[in-house]
């Protein structure tokens, strides 16, 4: 009994494992948003203060007419107004992010109020979680429309990160189409953070640009390639010596571009981008659904789920309470390679009996089924799995420890 109680007790903290990105991502976005604010303020400060000093000096030394001073002031005012507009936009964004954080904390806090895993409220909470995991999975695999639709229908827009993933997928798509522009722009926006990353996404992108230039039949592109290499590749000489050399060699052996840098490199780039992107935002590399599902498949799987002898509950002809989720069509193949759960105790229906064909059932349930079955005479029982009919006296008690 005690074991049963602990097994249904809900421990909110253990649920946070899967929810790491739920709160981390908005926090990361808030931090970046803040950095942007800092940057734009700094930029205007660096412009306005020297400009103001110049203007003042100019007016003292009379090298500047009052009209010029006015023009200088106008320019400053215009820039400050631009700053204000930018800050307003960023503040709006900040508000949106923090509002999301607030709602997400609320969502997790709801768990504190649910004492038991058997509670209806847990069921509802867990369904919302599944919807979130599904949206996450859809977004990661590029099914943005379905993701948006599901999020809207279930009213969980604030609990999922459609914006972040949509942007990510847009860049992935452009890379697959052989375009580095968006990805490079992203690198530019995240320069500071990328310095700490161990992947050299920017170098790889620049290298790809170079390869495309060399590959081009247009001879003038060759010169462009050399200039490009000088500007963007040579600085990486120390870290990426081999690659840089290999790239340089291409200029001579143009025909080698296909073998040394095959076109599949674009696919590699897009996955490298995804990896870098997720790392930067502390997003797990695999969909959360995979994490939850692989754990669940194993926790639920029993040797019977893929047994050659159809087990009573996996059989639609049988009347056990419900079809096992692992036996159900949706997951059966998926679970085939997973390990099954470990059990240290047998679990059989109470008052188990065995029929002459070796099938084991709970006595009360078998009698109940047989009663409900048509065409079974008084005093007979029918095996719901095989359909064989036996005399009630043929039921034999079986002891399972």
Partner 1 sequence: MATPTPMEALQKEHERLLKRLKGAQSLKHVQSTIDLLQSARDTIAADPGQTVLTMAKLQNPIKSSFDSVNDNLKEVHSGLNKYTKALDKSAFCPLQLFKDRPLPSTNDHDALSEQDTLINRAIAMHLLREGQFSVAASFLSEISERKSLQSDPETSTTDPMASSPGSANNILDEVPSSEIRKEFASMYYILHEMKENNNLLPAIEWSRENREALEARGSNLEFELCRLQFVWIFHGKSHDQSIRNREDAIAYARREFQGFMPRYLREVQQLIGAMAFCPNLRGSPYASIFNNISAWDDVAQFFTREFCSLLGLSADSPLYVATTAGAIALPTLLKLQTIMKAKRTEWTSENELPVEISLPPSYLFHSIFVCPVSKEQATDENPPMMMPCGHVIAEESLRRLGKGNRFKCPYCPSESHPRDARKIFL
Residues 162-221 that bind partner 1 (CB under 8 A): 172, 176
CA distance readout (Å), 44 to 3, 55, 73, 143, 190? 65, 16, 13, 41, 20
Q: CA 275 to CA 199: how far, in whole Å?
A: 9
Task: Give the CB-side neighbour count of residue 215, counting CA atoms within 13 A.
Answer: 14
Angle, CA of 38, 40 and 42, to the nearest 5°: 65
Among 198, 220, 316, 393, binds partner 1 (CB under 8 A): 316
Give residues 113-142 in contact with partner 1 (rule: CB under 8 A). Answer: 117-118, 126-127, 129-130, 133-134, 137-138, 140-142
Q: Which is nearer to partner 1, 149 or 235 (by Cβ)?
A: 149
Residue 393 binding partner 1, by CB under 8 A: no
Helix ranges (DSSP H) in 61-119:
66-109
Q: How far is the CB of 352 from partner 1 (least distance, A)?
A: 8
Which one of 208, 209, 257, 311 is in contact with partner 1 (CB under 8 A)? Answer: 311
Residues in region 263-282 near partner 1 by CB under 8 A: 263-264, 266-268, 270-271, 274
State which of residues 43, 63, 112, 192 lies at the interface with partner 1 (CB under 8 A): 112
Among 191, 195, 196, 343, binds partner 1 (CB under 8 A): 343
Which of positions 291-310 make contact with partner 1 (CB under 8 A)? 291-300, 302-305, 307-309
- Cβ atoms of 184 and 202 within 8 Å: the answer is yes
Question: What angle, rounded to 10 degrees, do the helices at 162-176 and 181-189 form?
Answer: 140
CA dihedral 158, 162, 163, 165 (to 10 degrees): 140
Smallest separation (angstroms) from partner 1 to the CB of 248: 27
Enter the tokens of residue 27.
Answer: 């926090």
> Site residues for partner 1, window 69-88 (CB under 8 A)?
69-70, 73-74, 76-77, 80-81, 83-84, 87-88
In 3D, which of 297, 298, 275, 300 has the Cα closest to residue 286? 275
- What residues does 380 pair with on adjacent strands? 391
User: Is 91 among the residues that bind partner 1 (CB under 8 A)?
Assistant: yes
Which letter does DSSP use for residue 396 in this model? E
227 belongs to the binding site for partner 1 (CB under 8 A)? no
Closest approach of partner 1 to the CB of residue 195, in Å? 20
């Amino acid at each position: 009994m005690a074991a049963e109680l602990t097994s249904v007790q809900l421990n909110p903290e253990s649920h946070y494992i899967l929810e790491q990105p739920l709160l981390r991502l908005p926090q990361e976005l808030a931090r970046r948003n803040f950095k942007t604010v800092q940057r734009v303020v700094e930029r205007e400060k660096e412009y306005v203060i020297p400009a103001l000093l110049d203007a003042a000096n100019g007016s003292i030394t009379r090298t500047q007419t009052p009209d010029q001073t006015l023009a200088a002031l106008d320019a400053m005012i215009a820039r400050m107004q631009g700053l204000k507009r930018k800050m307003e936009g960023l503040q709006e964004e900040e508000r949106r992010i923090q509002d999301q954080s607030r709602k997400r904390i609320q969502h997790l806090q709801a768990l504190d109020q649910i004492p038991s895993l058997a509670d209806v409220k847990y069921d509802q909470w867990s369904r919302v979680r599944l919807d979130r995991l599904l949206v996450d999975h859809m977004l990661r695999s590029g099914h943005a429309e379905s993701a948006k639709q599901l999020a809207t229908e279930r009213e969980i827009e604030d609990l999922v990160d459609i914006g972040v993933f949509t942007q990510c997928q847009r860049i992935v798509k452009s890379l697959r189409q052989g375009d580095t522009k968006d990805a490079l722009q992203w690198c530019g926006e995240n320069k500071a953070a990328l310095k700490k990353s161990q992947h050299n996404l920017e170098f790889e992108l620049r290298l790809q640009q170079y390869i495309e230039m060399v590959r081009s039949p247009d001879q003038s592109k060759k010169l462009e390639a050399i200039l490009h290499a000088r500007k963007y590749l040579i600085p990486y000489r120390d870290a990426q010596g081999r690659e840089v050399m290999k790239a340089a060699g291409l200029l001579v052996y143009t025909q080698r571009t296909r073998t040394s840098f095959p076109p599949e490199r674009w696919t590699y780039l897009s996955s490298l981008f995804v990896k870098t992107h997720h790392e930067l935002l502390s997003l797990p590399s695999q969909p959360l659904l995979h994490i939850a599902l692989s754990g669940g498949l194993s926790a639920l799987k029993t040797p019977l789920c893929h047994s050659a002898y159809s087990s009573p509950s996996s059989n639609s002809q049988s009347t056990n309470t419900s079809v096992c989720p692992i036996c159900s069509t949706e997951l059966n193949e998926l679970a085939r390679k997973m390990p099954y759960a470990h059990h240290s105790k047998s679990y059989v229906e109470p008052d188990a009996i065995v029929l002459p064909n070796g099938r084991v059932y709970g006595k009360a349930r078998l009698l109940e089924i047989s009663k409900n079955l048509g065409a079974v005479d008084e005093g007979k029982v029918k095996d719901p799995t095989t359909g064989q009919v036996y005399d009630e006296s043929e039921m034999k008690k079986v002891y399972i420890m």
